[in-house]
Amino acid sequence: MQTALVTGASGGIGAAIAHVLAPTHEVWLGGRKIPEGLPGRPWPVDLRDLDALAARTAEIPDLDVLVHSAGMVEIAPLSQTSVRTWRETLELNVIAVAELTRVLLPKLRAANGHVILINSGAGLRVNANWGAYAASKYALRAFADALRTEEPDIRVTSVFPGRTATEMQRGVRATEQGDYEPEKYLKPETVAQFVLNAITAPADAHPTEVVIRPRATAG
């Protein structure tokens, strides 16, 4: 059985990915509080504690799949976006991803592994009030492109979902002073299925980018 590490497994897309990988992978569940009943091995870690990542990843004997799903969002006009927001957003959404990947590269190389980066529609197009978050997601896309070029034996897939029915999205809609309408959004399980499709793609294929939009707003 292959091994996968999924960050952000505390809920939403990360938890859904853990569920779909569990039948075929030993799943390490990265997150501060893992829901009871989620299949896999809890791996509680603060991804922003960069100095601890090398020691904590030593617990994982080998690795075939690394899924970066952890992230944060704070939306506001640029004129009201604090230095703290910029730092925390970039630290979790980009720097922690880069460092966790770096320390796990030897294991991923040994397995000819696969790195999945859950990006966002904001990583393709920037809307007003989304400056800090979009900047982090554009940077995440650049990181994926560079990793793919530098590590030709590792598959690297960026996934760009539109609005998804998660607690994070509920918070975003509250900040936007709009209704939370999950029936109009992607289901986390739908995004997870696309991730599984990328991971199980035939060995001669390299799914580099997957863009998913809610059908209700596609077009």
Q: What is the pLDDT of residues 140-168, one digit of tens each?
A: 999 999 999 999 999 999 999 999 999 88
Question: Would you list the domain boundaries of the chain?
Answer: 2-217
Residue 33 banded pLDDT, cuts 50, 70, 90: confident
Residue 219 banded pLDDT, cuts 50, 70, 90: very low
The residue-averaged pLDDT of 9-38 equals 95
The residue-averaged pLDDT of 37-42 equals 94
- Long-range contact pairs involving 80-86 (C-beta distance under 8 Å, separation at least 24): 81/131, 81/132, 85/132, 86/132
Name the pTM for this structure. 0.95
pLDDT in tens, 163-199: 999 988 999 999 999 999 999 999 999 999 999 999 9
For residue 18, pLDDT over 90 is answered with yes
Q: Is 185 a catalytic residue?
A: no
Q: Which two tokens stand for residue 191?
A: 């995004």
The answer as to CATH 3.40.50.720 being correct for domain 2-217 is: yes
Out of 133, 138, 180, 185, pick the active-site residue.
133
Q: How far, in whole angstroms, is CA 140 from its chain's centroid?
A: 10
The residue-averaged pLDDT of 6-30 equals 97
In the three-class reduction of DSSP (H, G, I as helix; E, B as strand; rest coil), residue 2 is classed as strand
pLDDT in tens, 40-80: 999 999 999 999 999 999 999 999 999 999 999 999 999 99
Q: So what's the pLDDT on residue 216?
A: 72
The Cα-based distances of 72 to 12, 32, 91, 214 in angstroms read: 12, 14, 10, 21
For residue 217, pLDDT over 80 is answered with no
